[in-house]
Amino acid sequence: MPPIPMTASVQTAPTAEFIYTPPASLHGARRIVVKPNLGYPVGPPVTVSMAALGRVLAGLRHHNPQAEILIVEGVCSKVSFEAIMAKNGVHALLDEGMRLLDADLLDCVEYPNPSPHPARFKTMWAPKLLQEVDGCISVSAFKRTHLKGEALISASLKNLYGLFPRAKYKARSPNSRGQLHRPSVPLVLQDVYCTLGQFFHGGVVDCTQKFVSRDWQPDRGDSIPIGQVIWGDDLLAVDKAACTVADEAIPSYVVALETYHSKHIPGGMS
């Protein structure tokens, strides 16, 4: 289980004033993965805005002038990766040291889940690249859907779903990762965090608008203006703060992971 920082740093700013400073652990990094929430051919708030993503990339470049910055996403749509990235305007944000990569085309390895009580997966397949870089940042939208009668919050942790290969985790639809919805998304998210959380040095949640689905569909719903961006050096702390800013209940998976840390990590969690 990756340790949560005892003094996790979280910041919030109005969207227009957002200037991204990466965690100190990434200052001077040579290779960085950025995982944006861009899996659909739909603009914000279904996906992260280009303004927010652009400021994250600019902040990383400012503190890491020579770094190779790899923007990695796996789409969840019939529309191709190339078409979605072009429609969302990602290419305009890239400099010569930045590359856009389709997660479904990357070499994958089996990562162990160190949790003593996995919800479903004792291991999970994800890009080998995660262990070959100096660190990773999740850059997400903020969304609320409804699944099996329960509200599901998607923010920086849920954003990691796009890293898992569809060929391995598809169910009825080849375009999505249905296996990661069984027995439930909140339970599988605990496996996701325990397995991949150690590679992520921080998260950014674009809460300029929050997206509220009328049902389970993550790309059809209503936009509610919030006007804030939340960022920090721990995915759980960032998601918890984003829920507070967006006036949403703290997700069950965040509560469960906090409880685990309080019981099993010396000193607990602040």
Q: If you count them, how many residues does the chain have?
A: 270
Residue 22 located in a structural domain: yes
End-to-end, the C-alpha distance of the chain in Å comes to 17
Angle ∠(157,161,164) on CA atoms, nearest 5:
135
Q: Which amino acid is at 115?
A: S
Residue 53 located in a structural domain: yes
Q: Whole domain around residue 97: which residue ranges?
A: 10-264
The CATH number of whichever domain residue 107 belongs to comes to 3.40.50
Residue 2 located in a structural domain: no
Cα distances from 68 to residues 73, 105, 134, in angstroms, run 16, 19, 10
Q: How far is residue 154's CA from residue 243's CA, in Å, rounded to a whole number?
A: 10
Q: What is the 3-state secondary structure (H, E, C) of 111-123?
A: EECCCCCCCCCCE
Query: Contact at 8 Å (CB) between 63 and 34?
Result: no
Tell me the HSE value of 103 on the side-chain side, using a 13 A CA sphere.
30
Per the structure, the count of domains in the chain is: 1
- Listed in sequence order, the residues at least 6 apart from 259 whose beta carbon sits closer than 8 Å to its beta carbon are none
Per-residue pLDDT of the chain (270 residues; tens, 9 = 90+): 344 343 468 999 999 999 999 999 999 999 999 999 999 999 999 999 999 999 999 999 999 999 999 999 999 899 999 999 999 999 999 999 999 999 999 999 999 999 989 999 999 999 999 999 999 999 999 999 877 677 889 999 999 999 999 999 998 888 889 899 999 999 999 999 999 999 999 999 999 999 998 776 766 778 999 999 999 999 999 999 999 999 999 998 999 888 766 565 444 433
Residue 4 located in a structural domain: no
For position 4, what pLDDT does the model report? 39
For position 173, what pLDDT does the model report? 86
For tokens 């829920």, the residue is 243
Residue 81 located in a structural domain: yes
Q: How far is residue 38's CA from residue 79's CA, in Å, rounded to a whole number?
A: 12
SS3 (DSSP) at 48: coil
For position 36, what pLDDT does the model report? 98
Residue 198 located in a structural domain: yes
Query: Contact at 8 Å (CB) between 124 and 169?
Result: no
SS3 (DSSP) at 52: helix
Residue 1 located in a structural domain: no
For position 267, what pLDDT does the model report? 42
Q: How far is residue 59's CA from residue 15's CA, in Å, rounded to a whole number?
A: 15
Residue 5 located in a structural domain: no
